[in-house]
A and B are shown apart, each in its own frame.
Chain A
Amino acid sequence: MQGGGGGSESGSMSTVSREDNMVVSSEDSSCRDESELELGLGLSLGGFKMHKVSRGGHYARILTAKDFPSVISASSSPSSSSSSSSSSSSSSSSSSLSRANVTAGTKRAADSVAAANSSSQVVGWPPIRAYRMNSMVNQAKNQATEGFNSTMENHKSEISTVEKGTTGISSYQNSGNAKLRKSLFVKVNMDGIPIGRKVDMNAHESYEKLAKTLEDMFLKTTPNFNPAGSRALELGMMNKLTRSSKLLDGSSDFVLTYEDKEGDWMLVGDVPWKMFLSSVKRLRIMRTSEATGLGMQIHILHVLLGFVSYSKVALNHNLQLHDCMRGTARDKEASTSRICQQTYKSKRKYRIVKAL
């Protein structure tokens, strides 16, 4: 069967089955259909119900640096959102759909259709091990950052290597073309939950979108289970999940932190999104109480106090930064990188204590 033709089948699928994007899909994560919630609540299969957290005031949020007063807000990437690009590609390419199978009802319909046009929007294609992908990305990042700072420029053959390396970088990091995007999966752990998840950083264009995905992933309560057939889960994972979400009802919030490639734990949201992408190694959703207990408070204070000097540095480069953020050409990205490096390095003293 051919689905995803923008026709009725996918249309009806979208109201009934469109589910929020979890980890694997390349679509924008914040699509969620309210009507699906009601259907889900209405259905009761073998004695269980799906419980969904209601949106709005009671909803727990993960704090990012934006929640702390700061002059520099996270800049959003200029590229179009992946959901709009995938939906537009699905409608425009439905006619050219070839035997790339598009099974009706799967959210991957857009992916599979896009696959007919470009392999890069399809999960797991081309079939290159995640390990290898991450190695190549890290390699490309290293070459980029080293290339601008070091003495490599003196050596001809090294320049050619770097330049070719940066060609790779621009594709790996999606500097311009919204369509060409690879997955960059990083691990996310949340305090109190033994099993982590993985999130595709490149599926989000901004901190807001990322935070939303993480909230959906970690902070929505899980379904209750069939009491007649309940089996003890060895890890007690489910108990912990429901417990921590109860903790979240109300004001106790979580803080989102990340480990950068130097091994330091930073508060998410401090640096421009692109730069964040190039240095994030993994994420941790930390309890604010734990965070404050371990020096985060100091960091928060520093951020509050330090934003004055930080903003001074930034203001000096403000014009350049602004121009650079808009540009997509490789040299603009290079100079952005350089400027960001300078402002970033000036923040070293505000880092979270490594003991975390």
Chain B
Amino acid sequence: MPKRLAYSLSDEVLEHVFSFIQSDKDRNVVSAVCKSWYEIERWCRRKIFVGNCYAVSPKMVIRRFPQVRSIELKGKPHFADFNLVPDGWGGYVLPWITEMAGAYPWLDEIRLKRMVVTDESLELIAKSFKDFKVLVLASCEGFSTDGLAAIAASCKNLRELDLRESEVDDSSVHWLSHFPETYTSMVSLNISCLGSGEVSFSALERLVSRCPNLRSLKLNRAVPLDKTANILRLAPQLVEFSTCTYSAELRSDVFSNLAGAFSNCKELRSLSGFWDVVPDYLPAIYSVCSRLTSLNLSYATIHSPDLIKLVSHCPSLQRLLVLDYIEDSGLEALASNCKDLQELRVFPSDPFDVEPNASLTEQGLVAVSLGCPKLQSVLYFCRRMSNAALVTIAQNCPNLTRFRLCIIEPNTADYLTGEPFDVGFGAIVEHCKDLIRLSLSGLLTDCVFEYIGKYAKKLEMLSVAFAGDSDLGLHHVLSGCESLRKLEIRDCPFGDKALLTNAAKLETMRSLLMSSCSVSLEACKLLSQKMPRLNVEVIDERGPPDSRPKNCTVDKLYIYRSVAGPRFDMPPFVWTKDEDLALRLSP
């Protein structure tokens, strides 16, 4: 191909070609080809994903990408889900909204995860973006139904409002009624996190009845059963539905109404909710079970026999979330009925009881690994495990991409041999070459980290708790895992040496969070000095770390790469270095 051709392709042609390239990674590669491609690409990039809202400033994003339509931001680290990051740490979205309000009048999608969203932010969104379509607030907090009312009232073309697992304050405003009567564009509504006072049934029914494109509806648990049937009858085109609270006793009229309503829903593929479900009501959904691909029963306290019955009606199931009430027998039934299963999550019904209250062991997971060849994603809470089981699982499921095992009691050994689980997890990383996410538990020595460093070349996220013997463990991971982006560690004897030796690695990752490990303040200071493009945050609610003896370790350490420099909104319990290379209290 003559070189001239490259120069003769006009900008419009290139832009058109680039419009077929959607993934961020590919776009980043395209923009690195040459200066003119960089320029063209940045003007036509429409979607931005910022995995850590402090890694870059809104001004920088706007400067490089002036015509963005869709943005996704993540705030707090994953460990914040387990109350390991103190309240008030950060993750405020208002600065972003403020900047984007002026720069991106055509922004129509905002997706946020683990961020603090205020009513003011929501009101600003409602006011500033004329064609606003998609608002997803996942695990967010800080806002009330007042903010939702503003969105409902102003966003005429809103298609998606998803508040999954957020904390919403009830301001007693009937926010649903703020959707004007002329509003008909809802496609996906998830309000399952809202409390009882926050949803008006009649407003909900009216909304559902006038939105013909509604595909996904996840109600909050306070909507009673008879209302559920009504709503289903109003929206038989639903693809995803989350049911609500079931009433206490079986009433045949309610049952048949519900069964009838479900049988109308020919498109229904995903069901969730099932809070307080009474097993006698389950047959009401049998008519849709054969088509179901996703079932979330993880809030349903129903037991193995009923679960087995249900699962035997769902041969197309690809995704199942369930409590450990399913027991090994239920998982065996699952393995024999649901050959398309790709994702399984088993949660503990009673995580704090030392004795198991359901007969769920490693056998259940082994059975699923044997029976479901397409299994890719596993999250499994159990109380006992063996290396043999892990090796079997690894051999049965070489296509696993996500494997998160939580043996509930820390430092539990292999119940058959008393050994640590180094060999078992080693088998997982060795056989599952596409593994991108791994969570470890149980008794583990530095050996497991050697295996992980050696084999887990595609691993992007690793969660470690109560494991390892020494710095060597951390060193293996940081030096071996080439694709590592997120590392979160708690209560492990990892300290200064591994961290400082692998300081450069930290710039290739999104973040590292270490809680209750053995890192000293001196190391944090040194790391800050050595690596100007890392923000090293010492999170310590006990007071200034400098006031403690030199050999004292820091409580929590959060390190993330950033081109935005230190942030301006740190709470009093977060310490970073200042220009004088001495740790000081930040305002």
Contact = CB atoms under 8 A, between A and B. Distances in A.
A129 B352 contact: no
B12 interface: no
A154 to B, nearest CB: 7
Interface in A30-67: 36, 39-40, 43, 45-46, 48, 50
A155 B406 CA distance: 36
A46 B357 CA distance: 55
Contacts of B310: none
Interface in A81-135: 98-101, 103-108, 112, 115-116, 118-120, 122-132, 135
A158 B301 CA distance: 11
A36 B547 CA distance: 10
A131 B139 contact: yes
A116 B354 CA distance: 12
Q: How large is the interface on B (under 10, 10 to 19, 20 to 34, 35 or more residues)?
A: 35 or more
A36 to B, nearest CB: 8
Contact of A46 (B170, B299, B467, B582): B582
B83 to A, nearest CB: 5
Interface string A328-339: 000000000000
A119 B276 contact: no
A222 interface: yes
A196 B169 CA distance: 12
Interface string B183-203: 000000000010111000000
With most chain A CB atoms within 10 A of its CB, the pick from B278, B490, B546, B583 is B490
A181 B543 CA distance: 27
Given A100-B411, A125-B465, A155-B250, A161 B275 contact: no
A100 B553 contact: no
A231 interface: yes
Nearest to A1: B518
B243 to A, nearest CB: 14
Interface in A213-236: 222-223, 225-226, 229-231, 233-234
B303 interface: yes
B165 A17 contact: no
Contacts, number: 248
Contacts of B167: 131, 187
Contact of B84 (A24, A195, A354): A24
Nearest to A168: B350
Interface stretch (A142-150, A267-275, A302-310): A142-150
A316 interface: no
B491 A128 contact: no
A40 B543 contact: yes
Interface in B489-503: 490-493
Nearest to B445: A99
Contacts of A211: none
Interface residues of A, number: 89
Contacts of B585: 45-46, 48, 223, 225-226
B449 interface: no
A99 B466 contact: yes
Contact of B165 (A16, A129, A181): A129
Contacts of A192: none
A146 B224 CA distance: 15
A263 B172 CA distance: 10
B370 to A, nearest CB: 26
Main secondary structure of the interface of B (DSSP, over half): loop
Nearest to A198: B87
B249 A152 contact: yes
B81 A129 contact: yes
B197 A263 contact: yes
A161 B301 contact: yes
Contacts of A119: 351-352, 408-410
B578 interface: yes
A349 B559 CA distance: 53
Interface in B344-385: 347-354, 357, 381
B573 to A, nearest CB: 8
B88 A195 contact: yes
Contact of A151 (B139, B249, B469, B584): B249
A279 to B, nearest CB: 13
Given A125-B465, A127-B82, A104 B548 contact: no
Contacts of A204: none
A136 B568 contact: no
A157 B83 contact: no
B569 A234 contact: yes
Contacts of A325: none
A124 B79 contact: yes
A167 B350 contact: yes
B544 interface: yes
A24 B86 contact: yes
Q: Point out which of A103, A132, A154, A197 has the most chain B C-beta atoms below 10 A from its C-beta.
A: A103
Contact of B493 (A46, A101, A120): A101
Contacts of A152: 248-249
Contacts of A181: 352
Given A229-B578, A233-B569, A98 B276 contact: no
Contacts of B584: 45-46, 48, 226, 229
Contact of A130 (B83, B278, B466): B83
Given A155-B249, A229-B587, A124 B553 contact: no
A112 B411 contact: no
Given A17-B547, A45-B584, A139-B276, 4 more contacts: A16-B549, A119-B409, A226-B584, A231-B586
The 5 closest A-B pairs by CB, nearest first: A124-B82, A19-B542, A105-B552, A120-B352, A46-B584
Interface of A: 1, 12-13, 16-19, 22-24, 36, 39-40, 43, 45-46, 48, 50, 98-101, 103-108, 112, 115-116, 118-120, 122-132, 135-136, 139, 142-143, 146, 150-152, 154-155, 157-158, 160-161, 164-165, 167-168, 171-172, 180-183, 185, 187, 195-198, 222-223, 225-226, 229-231, 233-234, 238, 263, 281, 354
